[in-house]
Amino acid sequence: MKANQLLKRAVALAAATLLGTTLVFAAGEGGPLGGIRERIKQRLIHVGITAEQRDQVREVLKSFMPEVAPLVKQSIQERKALRDAIRATPVNEAAIRAQSAKVAAIDAELAVKRAQIVEKVRPILTPEQLSELGRMEDEFHAKINDGLGKLGRWIEGN
């Protein structure tokens, strides 16, 4: 695999990890995250989620939308501003650090919201479903870590 492709994959995987599942549900039916939404939907089908469970999960997600949607929108805007700051010449470390802090603060808020959503969704699912979803999440993160590890080895010249 070419170094540029590896870098693009690693960045995409890292971004997916940072934004998490909350962004998928916050993005609406269409848009750039529709493919991820479909994969999550397929995973829920894979664990045997019932129509009743699906409706309950959907209601939980809808209840968080007024809080999560503005954070997602702000995250997208602040990440773009960070990319712009990183690309600016000459390099302005203070601007990059300030913008990184804004992104981190939003990420922290989104992480709390994800935890609150999980807390509400967990009782809806069976122990077996939770176990399978946990296994699939571990598998996903292992792939991310593997991709980042490959990037690190490439950077080190190995």
Query: For the segment 134-143, what is each residue's pLDDT rounded down to a tens digit?
Result: 888 888 888 8
Both tokens of 135, joined, read: 């296994």
Give pTM, 2 decimals. 0.68
Confidence at 151, pLDDT banded by 50, 70, 90 = confident
Supply φ then ψ for residue 95, to 5 degrees: -65, -40
**Cα 49 to chain center, whole Å?**
22
Confidence at 145, pLDDT banded by 50, 70, 90 = confident
Query: Within a domain: residue 146?
Result: no
- Give the span between the Cα atoms of 24 and 42, in whole angstroms: 13
Query: Within a domain: residue 151?
Result: no
**In 4-102, at which residue ranges do the beta strands (DSSP E only) sit?**
none
> Which residue from 135, 115, 152 is spatially nearest to 13, judged by alpha carbons?
152
Mean pLDDT, rounded, for 4-10: 47
Phi-psi region of 43 (alpha: psi -120 to 50; beta: other; left: phi over 0): alpha
Side-chain-side CA neighbours of 45 within 13 Å: the count stands at: 6
Query: Within a domain: residue 156?
Result: no
> Which residue from 124, 141, 158, 157 is spatially nearest to 47, judged by alpha carbons?
124
Q: ∠59-33-113 over CA atoms, to 5°?
A: 45
Q: Are 68 and 113 in contact (CB under 8 A)?
A: yes
pLDDT surpasses 50 at 24: no
Indicate the residue type of 118. Answer: V
SS3 112: helix
Query: Within a domain: residue 133?
Result: no
Query: Within a domain: residue 27?
Result: yes
Q: Are 132 and 46 in contact (CB under 8 A)?
A: yes
pLDDT reported for residue 5? 52
pLDDT surpasses 70 at 103: yes
Side-chain-side CA neighbours of 89 within 13 Å: the count stands at: 0
Mean pLDDT, rounded, for 31-58: 75
Mean pLDDT, rounded, for 59-76: 91
Q: For residue range 85-95, list pLDDT tens digits in order.
A: 999 999 999 99
* Residue ranges making up the domain that contains 54: 6-128
Count of domains observed in the chain? 1
